[in-house]
Structure 1
Amino acid sequence: MEDIYEEIRNVYKRYPQPWVIGYSGGKDSTTVLQLVWKALEVLPPEERQKPVFVIASDTRVETPVIVDYIDTTLQRINETARALGMPFRAEKVMPTLNDSFWVNLIGRGYPAPTTRFRWCTERMKITPANRFIEEKVAQYGEVIMVLGVRKTESSTRMQLMNTYQVKGHLLRRHSSLRGAYVYAPIADFSTDDVWKYLLQVPSPWGNNNEDLAALYRNASAGECPLVIDTSTPSCGNSRFGCWVCTVARRDTSMEALIDNGEEWMLPLLEFREWLVTTIDPERKREFRDIRGRDGRVVFKKDGTLAARTYTLNTSKIMLHKLLVAQKEIQQHGPDPTMKLISDEELFEIRRIWRVERQDWEDSVPAIFRQVNGFDLPWPKDDDHVFDSAQKALLEGICKEYDLPFELLAKLLEVEKQSIDITKRAGIHKALTSILTQEWGDESQIMTAAREKNVFYQEIRLDLALPSVAEK
């Protein structure tokens, strides 16, 4: 152990770049953070002035049990570092509102993540962590990332770590971030080495590592590391991952937590299991539209239409189920103020539904009021916003002229958003984009595809354009 501590001290003193430690709350990242702390604490104050940033990724949908654990740990790290004059500064990195899970899943209708479409990883994990690192690179020129990665985790991880090794150095080039190097003090540790260290060496910031071991025993699962590139595997079956993750078919981690006394988390498990049904190949057409957000339809290899984004009705059901789950855990869980979805996310979902998905009935406040019995301070943005009476009027007109309501509604939304003269420059392009989307029903699409022999490829059909333009 003294050799490892000495190596860490030598790397810290040899290179001028500040350090960024990725901390997930799990065993590997805790081991790295504790090793670095123990190594640096014996240095005289004048030799430990270079900052060591500790960042934890909060996707906004982390397993609730771990959120308090990480928040408490970060607070203890900062308080202890200030008291002892250590160079550590801990903080969380989070996705922006636009990239949050609920805004994209419920708001925009993105399907729940799968192994083939893990849209969440880039938005919720990679981008927030990389944004922080890029800010430090801009400030300091270069940074050294200290990560809890181990070669024994997988053959892919071992190959990646060896590929970017800097000859003659302990550092590795980061695979995609310019100005960032990677240092992995526990690269050659086994899982047994990690646990032996944690259970024999006390936490220098006051945590009890026995509590961490208990979390692993109760969850029967692994951890989700700080994700900084696409080579990191899914955290779908991880104790330290997102509770909504549908990449894995079963969440054995959450099941184990419930079996070990966390019964209040049952509504979360039930919501996740329902979410999995929406991506079931046999059932997903029940929940999803044949058109994507770009208006395209996609044919599968068997000649049938693929299921794409969630329908607005599915999104309404999803929001209702989520709010019911939130109310139940507030009533029966350890924290009556715990939220699964923030007010800001609800505000943004409401905006997206009204402007992009033609929810002229303004359903979000109504669903929230139905579940909770009170209202939020919804933003007052009703200028030039259509309502349910106007929707009924337009639906009647569209029926009379045999036109799809969604088409005319989208055209009106574009005109409404371009009412300011300074925003009208791109209005023709926006209108053309809407008119050239697919507006035929499924039977029309299939008939046109047979006539044009365009199966087995992603296509955009213009069935409705001539008749729409004429009308």
Structure 2
Amino acid sequence: MTKGDKNAMEMIIQEYQKNDIPWFIGYSGGKDSSSMLSLVFNALMKIDKFHKDVTVMYCDTGVENPIVTDYVFETFEKLKKECTLHNIPLKFKILKPKLNDRFFVKVIGRGYPTPTNIFRWCTDKLRINPVKQLIEKDDKAIILLGIRNTESEQRDRTIKKHKTVNEYYLKQNGSSNKIIFSPIINHTLEDVWLTLRYSDFPKSIDFSKIRDIYQDAESECPAYKETKGSSCGNSRFGCWTCTVVRKDKSMGNLIENGYSELKELYEFRNWISEFRNNEKYRCDFRRNGVKGLGPITLEGREIILNRLLETEKESGLNLISDEEIERIYELWEIDKSNKKYIEKNALQNWL
């Protein structure tokens, strides 16, 4: 165990025993959150008496990279058994966005264009809000995140802006009762990999699997908002539908390295990235009645749904739920009967 790991574990033990404020760990399956979870697990093994639970949160947006989602679900099941074996007070929560906030309900049901740097609606709807709904049930909460110094210039600016007297704590943007605690804030990239490589526990966190999936990883999609506008656009892994970045290099690399089941998803992602800009399938009016590039038309949304269902069939992966499809059809009917919804009609028809 490295000196950095020992210091982090001492800090975890000290902070856990300090008060009754509930802990929530943001977990993505990536190297940083896995390293932090490993240290928390090992620290808790050194405590004789537990006075509060620690909740490990994973946000399943519904469009996560299937390779990562499968790994996380498998890891959670193993961790539950390992926690029972060692009497570790970790609880595991898989969070999902509300039905109306899910990616395909927004895009195919409501006609949202897929996210861009200008219109990046996805992070709040898919990731931040589900976590907030869980955490804000408590008056106070401490959110453990795998944030590190020197990870990137942008991250360093964020840490500097939100730092507190205690270097391990950061102020939570927009909340005085919620605070971020990062035990690995002083870990280097090498430290993170060493933690995963040489930790005896938990055995459920598979270093080899993480290394294989996340080789050359640099960042993860946020599990809880650190600053206004925080995004996962430059993340190594995130949603397979992500169109914020021009090219999903990680998905392309995975396919080249043998994950052939992702090929159809990759092609769909590239197709919809172009389709969203086709003005033929975009309304001439926004939903507020103002003339301008508006939602995807009903015809366009039907084309996307059919292409998605075809992709689902070809890939053999479950890409959209029955309840999402049902809600999409309901939203189509609402638009069809809404006199204020305009596609290509003249504005005076609405007036």
Structure 1 match to 2:259: 262
Structure 1 match to 2:62: 60
Question: How far apart are 1:233 and its partner, in Å?
Answer: 4.5
Structure 2 match to 1:154: 152
Q: Secondary structure at the match of 2:150?
A: helix
Q: Tell me how far apart the structure 1 counterparts of residues 103 and 279 of structure 2 sit (CA, whole Å).
A: 22
Correspondence 1:22 to 2:26 = yes
Deviations 1:140-164 (A, max 9, x none): x311111101121223322332333
Correspondences of 1:40-439 after superposition (within 5 Å): 40-44=44-48, 46=49, 48-135=50-137, 137=138, 141-167=139-165, 170-217=168-215, 222-231=219-228, 233-236=230-233, 238-280=235-277, 284-298=278-292, 307-330=293-316, 338-356=317-335, 358=336, 409-411=337-339, 434=340
Aligned-partner residue type, residue 326 of structure 2: F
CA distance 1:170–1:177, shift in 2 (3 Å): same
8 Å CA contact 1:147–1:183 kept in 2: the answer is: yes
2:41 to 37, 40, 61: 37
Question: How far apart are 1:203 and its partner, in Å?
Answer: 4.1
Deviations 1:121-153 (A, max 9, x none): 111111101111101x2xxx3111111011212
Question: How far apart are 1:39 and its partner, in Å?
Answer: 1.2
Q: Secondary structure at the match of 1:55?
A: strand
Higher relative contact order (CA 8 A, sep 6+): 2
8 Å CA contact 1:176–1:229 kept in 2: the answer is: no
Question: How far apart are 1:220 and its partner, in Å?
Answer: 6.6
8 Å CA contact 2:282–2:343 kept in 1: the answer is: no
Question: How far apart are 1:74 and its partner, in Å?
Answer: 1.4
Question: How far apart are 1:189 and its partner, in Å?
Answer: 1.4
Which runs of 5 or more residues in structure 2 are unaligned? Answer: none
Q: Tell me how far apart the structure 2 counterparts of residues 239 and 72 of structure 1 sit (CA, whole Å).
A: 21
Q: Secondary structure at the match of 2:220?
A: coil
Aligned-partner residue type, residue 23 of structure 1: Y
8 Å CA contact 1:220–1:256 kept in 2: the answer is: no
8 Å CA contact 2:38–2:205 kept in 1: the answer is: no
8 Å CA contact 2:23–2:55 kept in 1: the answer is: yes
Percent sequence identity over aligned pairs: 35
Question: How far apart are 1:105 and its partner, in Å?
Answer: 0.1
Consecutive aligned runs of 4 or more in structure 1 exceeding 4 Å deviation: 219-222, 229-233, 437-440
Q: Secondary structure at the match of 2:92?
A: strand
Question: How far apart are 1:351 and its partner, in Å?
Answer: 0.6
Q: Tell me how far apart the structure 1 counterparts of residues 44 and 322 of structure 2 sit (CA, whole Å).
A: 42
Q: Secondary structure at the match of 1:339?
A: coil
Question: How far apart are 1:239 and its partner, in Å?
Answer: 4.2
Structure 2 match to 1:301: none
Q: Secondary structure at the match of 1:172?
A: strand
Aligned-partner residue type, residue 10 of structure 1: Q
CA distance 1:252–1:237, shift in 2 (3 Å): farther
CA distance 1:98–1:229, shift in 2 (3 Å): farther
Number of equivalent positions: 347
Task: Report the aligned-residue RMSD.
Answer: 2.2
CA distance 1:232–1:88, shift in 2 (3 Å): farther
Q: Tell me how far apart the structure 1 counterparts of residues 161 and 231 of structure 2 sit (CA, whole Å).
A: 21
Structure with bigger gyration radius: 1
8 Å CA contact 1:109–1:310 kept in 2: the answer is: yes
Q: Tell me how far apart the structure 1 counterparts of residues 301 and 308 of structure 2 sit (CA, whole Å).
A: 10
Q: Tell me how far apart the structure 2 counterparts of residues 20 and 146 of structure 1 sit (CA, whole Å).
A: 6
8 Å CA contact 1:18–1:51 kept in 2: the answer is: yes
Aligned-partner residue type, residue 254 of structure 1: M
Aligned-partner residue type, residue 331 of structure 2: I
Q: Tell me how far apart the structure 1 counterparts of residues 319 and 344 of structure 2 sit (CA, whole Å).
A: 36
Q: Tell me how far apart the structure 1 counterparts of residues 258 and 204 of structure 2 sit (CA, whole Å).
A: 25
Q: Secondary structure at the match of 1:197?
A: helix
Q: 26-35 vs 219-228, which deviates more?
A: 219-228
Aligned-partner residue type, residue 206 of structure 1: S
Q: Tell me how far apart the structure 2 counterparts of residues 291 and 236 of structure 1 sit (CA, whole Å).
A: 28
Q: Tell me how far apart the structure 2 counterparts of residues 100 and 2 of structure 1 sit (CA, whole Å).
A: 41
Aligned-partner residue type, residue 93 of structure 1: L
Q: Tell me how far apart the structure 2 counterparts of residues 103 and 70 of structure 1 sit (CA, whole Å).
A: 24
TM-score for both structures, normalised by structure 2: 0.92
Which runs of 5 or more residues in structure 1 are unaligned? Answer: 299-306, 331-337, 359-408, 412-433, 442-461
TM-score for both structures, normalised by structure 1: 0.69
Aligned-partner residue type, residue 325 of structure 1: T
